[in-house]
Structure 1
Amino acid sequence: MLIVGNGRMITRDVSCPFLEDGAVVMDKNKIIEVGQTEDIRKAYKEAEYIDAKKGVIMPAFINTHEHIYSAMARGLSIDGYDPKGFLDILDGMWWTIDRNLSEEQILQSARATYIDSIKNGVTTVFDHHASFGSITDSLFIIEEAAKELGVRSCLCYEVSDRDGMDKAKEAVMENARFIQHTLKDDTDMIAGMMGMHASFTISDETMELAAANKPEEVGYHIHVAEGIEDLHHCLKHYGKRIIDRLMDCGVLGEKTLLGHCIYVNEHEMDLIRDTDTMVVHNPESNMGNACGCPPTMRMVQKGILAGLGTDGYTHDMTESYKVANLLHKHSLCDPNTAWAEVPQMLFENNAKIAGRYFKSPLGVLKKGAAADVIIADYDPLTPMNESNVNGHILFGMTGRNVVTTIGNGKVLMKDRRLLVADEAQAMAKCREEAEKLADTINNR
């Protein structure tokens, strides 16, 4: 039994959203009670105690769109890479990396990403993987790292025709095998989806193959209209917009997650809403790739379940929060927008998205929820209460304020020291493999 107490506590539980001196008690992988520190400590005298030291106690973060395979892009220089648009970025950088990843590099990329996630208070990750040089067993390799480091993960492989039909079929079968594997798992720590790259790299034949090998219990995880080129391709080759094509192919539904959705219109947003399909917004990626600003505020206002991800740009969810807040204000020239919508996406909708794949309630500190708890070293210089906690997180915190991370009842990091791996050794190994990858790509 474990208690975390002596901190300002943000619970995300509407019945008791904030405690000035709160404590949460966990037994194994579940929260069993939340209350005042003094009361909790008296009631559970034998429990191990972690002192928040007047910091902020809150639910761990959830990242609903991540790219583990991109970990070794940091600092990578590819000879001749000079992108003129989004397709050049994809082929010149990301597809070049994924075509050259070895199994060992997949493993080290996963370890590095999960370590950084833990250090930023993220304990649940939805990953969208690609490694067209090493497809078979790649999801199982990532799962190995997820189990080792204690991060709850929903994984999929990015099906695409871009490297030929044989690899597209291999990718579909990798998803199918992994999904069946996760459906037999009872830990509530691993899940699978049918991953798809994007409409413009997936033929009708591959769509049909994926559908034939996807169990009803799961949905798809696919990039949608991230670049205008995706829309133009769909209109030219299929005579319809992307969401209409996905609807006709049976892709939409409550278990399906659509990434980006930048170039969608009102009709398409209505289809997404009416099919209860999920969307994830990745603001830094959209800006960094010069793809444009999606109508995400409109989606939230329409009642679409839209969450917040990072797309591999960062593993700090507070970064995505800050950037989304600025992006939509700037794009809409409206200083009042994004104040409510973006925190709803991060703190409410991400938990609802995760709830469609994991049984335990996530993103909340209350009895029966998953024991996913973080402590942030944050001493507010202005009053902090239930009405302004989001403003404190937005303007006062970053992921690096997180000092302690507990995932599924296990202390993964305490006082900024990683407990589930030798961090120095892990980073040294990652650097070694990153250098090999760079050499392979540039034929040095």
Structure 2
Amino acid sequence: MLLIGNGTLITHDTSSPLLENGCIAIQNDTIIDIGPTTVLKAKYLGASFIDAKKGMIMPGLINTHNHIYSAFARGANLGGPTPHNFLDILESLWWKLDRLLTVEDTRYSAYWTYLDGIKNGVTTVCDHHASYGEIPGSLFAISEVAEELGLRTSLCYEVSDRDGTAKMREAVEENVAFMKATKNKKTQKGMMGLHASFTLSDATLDYCASQIPDGFGYHIHVAEGMDDVYDSLKKYSKRVLFRLHDHNILGSHTICGHCIHITPSEMDLLKATDTMVVHNPESNMGNAVGCPPVLELYHKDILLGLGTDGYTNDLFESLKVANILHKHHTCNPSVAWTEMPHMLFKGNPMIINRLFNEQVGVLKVGASADVIVVDYVPQTPLTATNYMSHILFGLTGRQVTTTVARGQILMKDREILVADEEALMAKSREKAAALWARA
């Protein structure tokens, strides 16, 4: 039995959003009770107790679009000309990097990404992986790290024609093997990963559709850059989402990342097919690819999530950027107050509930015990009507002091408990330096 209390509970449960001096009781991997700290401590004598020290107690955060393979890019100079557009960035950095990655490089990229996630309060990650230097076993290496560190994760491998048919088929095989291996697992699920329409032929899309097991969906980048749109129009005389729909890619278990350059009719298609969309604001700004119409998507009641696309593992940071990006883009300071928090705190849990059939992202009896403690004692009153303003302007990931996933304490008082972080990061630096030397 574990109690986490003496803090302000931000439950994200609409029936009881905030409880001052609150406490939650955890048995195994489930929340079994919620109430005042004094009441629960008296009720569950002998239970272990984590003191929030008047800070915030919140559900664990969820990242619905990340790229573990990008970990070794930090500080790297892989050579080549300065990129001037998104396609240049793909060719000179990301595709060059993924062609160098071995399975062991992937493993240590996963250690860093998941550990950094834990330190930022992330308990669930949907990752879209590519490592064309060595494909077989790559998803299973990531899976082993996630299991070792105690995180829930959805994984897929990025199928693409860019390195030829043999590599494409290896990527499909890796996806299928992982989907089958995780079909009955509670904490891990596979998807069919696809890069983007402009690197996928009709034959490849049909091949993926013929191989995907029943009950699984796709995870794909959609209209992230205009090259994706131009390619689809030129080769197939249709917009990207209509092309994907013709190949049965869309649906209630499919995640479409970005969706920047889409039309109102494509938005209607997303709604009609109940397809999920994930917004990645910092990556979009960094790649200078544009601002997606997520305000319109939100008001069409399309399921929207918030991801980081490998740019960061701090979702509080991404929330702040999303909020100001859409104000700036629309020249309207009144927008994004509701839509962006909804994506992170409601949309992301709904996406994970679809993929895992597990109640996450909420502190309530019966929900999964994914809980974080945040060092935040406000200078102004914190209430059930203004707590989102405190989150938006007062929190960063580095204020997370304790992270609990499915009842397991992964970090306490900023100390990682599930791994030797220092040794893993030293090995990660060795692997990264060796990869850079091969570039």
Name the counterpart of 1:90.
90
CA root-mean-square deviation: 0.7
Deviation of 1:437 after TM superposition, in Å, equals 0.8
Name the counterpart of 1:117.
117
Name the counterpart of 1:72.
72
Q: Is the 8 A contact 1:254 1:275 kept in 2?
A: yes
Q: Is the 8 A contact 1:119 1:413 kept in 2?
A: yes
Name the counterpart of 1:58.
58
Q: Is the 8 A contact 1:286 1:292 kept in 2?
A: yes
Paired with 1:234 and 1:263, the residues of 2 have a C-alpha distance of: 12
Q: Is the 8 A contact 1:261 1:279 kept in 2?
A: yes
Describe the SS at the equivalent of 1:49: strand
Map 1:368-407 to 2 at 5 A: 368-407=366-405
Unaligned 5+ segments in structure 2 are none
Letter in 1 for 2:101: L
Paired with 1:105 and 1:133, the residues of 2 have a C-alpha distance of: 10
Name the counterpart of 1:247.
245
Name the counterpart of 2:313.
315
Name the counterpart of 1:263.
261
Identity between Structure 1 and Structure 2 (%): 56
Name the counterpart of 1:428.
426
Map 1:31-430 to 2 at 5 A: 31-185=31-185, 188-430=186-428
Letter in 1 for 2:249: V
Deviation of 1:426 after TM superposition, in Å, equals 1.0
Deviation of 1:102 after TM superposition, in Å, equals 1.2
Deviation of 1:359 after TM superposition, in Å, equals 2.6
Paired with 2:156 and 2:387, the residues of 1 have a C-alpha distance of: 34
Letter in 1 for 2:431: E
Describe the SS at the equivalent of 2:182: helix
Paired with 2:432 and 2:131, the residues of 1 have a C-alpha distance of: 15
Describe the SS at the equivalent of 2:356: coil
Question: What TM-score results when the alignment is normalised by the length of structure 2?
Answer: 0.99
Deviation of 1:288 after TM superposition, in Å, equals 0.2
Q: Is the 8 A contact 2:402 2:413 kept in 1?
A: yes
Paired with 1:385 and 1:430, the residues of 2 have a C-alpha distance of: 43
Q: Is the 8 A contact 1:6 1:37 kept in 2?
A: yes
Deviation of 1:79 after TM superposition, in Å, equals 1.5
Can you list the C-alpha shifts for 1:111-165, whole angstroms capped at 9, x where unaligned?
A: 0000000000000000000001111111000001101111100000000000001
Letter in 2 for 1:135: I
Deviation of 1:84 after TM superposition, in Å, equals 1.3
Letter in 1 for 2:173: M
Q: Is the 8 A contact 1:60 1:122 kept in 2?
A: yes
Can you list the C-alpha shifts for 1:181-226, whole angstroms capped at 9, x where unaligned?
A: 00032xx110010000000000111101111111221100000000
Question: What TM-score results when the alignment is normalised by the length of structure 1?
Answer: 0.98
Q: Is the 8 A contact 1:284 1:310 kept in 2?
A: yes
Paired with 2:104 and 2:174, the residues of 1 have a C-alpha distance of: 18
Q: Is the 8 A contact 1:159 1:172 kept in 2?
A: yes
Deviation of 1:176 after TM superposition, in Å, equals 0.4
Q: Is the 8 A contact 2:56 2:375 kept in 1?
A: yes
Unaligned 5+ segments in structure 1 are none
Paired with 1:397 and 1:407, the residues of 2 have a C-alpha distance of: 20
Name the counterpart of 2:12.
12
Letter in 2 for 1:225: A
Paired with 1:46 and 1:216, the residues of 2 have a C-alpha distance of: 47
Paired with 2:249 and 2:75, the residues of 1 have a C-alpha distance of: 36
Q: Is the 8 A contact 2:352 2:358 kept in 1?
A: no
Q: Is the 8 A contact 1:360 1:368 kept in 2?
A: no
Letter in 1 for 2:77: S
Q: Is the 8 A contact 1:329 1:338 kept in 2?
A: yes
Paired with 2:357 and 2:271, the residues of 1 have a C-alpha distance of: 23
Paired with 1:321 and 1:184, the residues of 2 have a C-alpha distance of: 33
Deviation of 1:358 after TM superposition, in Å, equals 1.3
Paired with 1:159 and 1:256, the residues of 2 have a C-alpha distance of: 15
Describe the SS at the equivalent of 2:80: coil
Letter in 1 for 2:436: A
Can you list the C-alpha shifts for 1:296-339, whole angstroms capped at 9, x where unaligned?
A: 11100110101000000000000110110011000000101100
Deviation of 1:104 after TM superposition, in Å, equals 1.1
Deviation of 1:390 after TM superposition, in Å, equals 1.1
Paired with 2:357 and 2:259, the residues of 1 have a C-alpha distance of: 27
Deviation of 1:47 after TM superposition, in Å, equals 1.2
Paired with 1:135 and 1:370, the residues of 2 have a C-alpha distance of: 33
* Runs of 4+ residues deviating >4 angstroms: none
Q: Is the 8 A contact 2:135 2:171 kept in 1?
A: yes
Deviation of 1:14 after TM superposition, in Å, equals 1.1
Paired with 2:79 and 2:101, the residues of 1 have a C-alpha distance of: 17
Q: Is the 8 A contact 2:225 2:289 kept in 1?
A: yes
Letter in 2 for 1:196: L
Paired with 2:404 and 2:125, the residues of 1 have a C-alpha distance of: 14
Paired with 1:228 and 1:77, the residues of 2 have a C-alpha distance of: 26
Paired with 2:78 and 2:183, the residues of 1 have a C-alpha distance of: 40
Paired with 2:383 and 2:73, the residues of 1 have a C-alpha distance of: 40
Deviation of 1:274 after TM superposition, in Å, equals 1.1
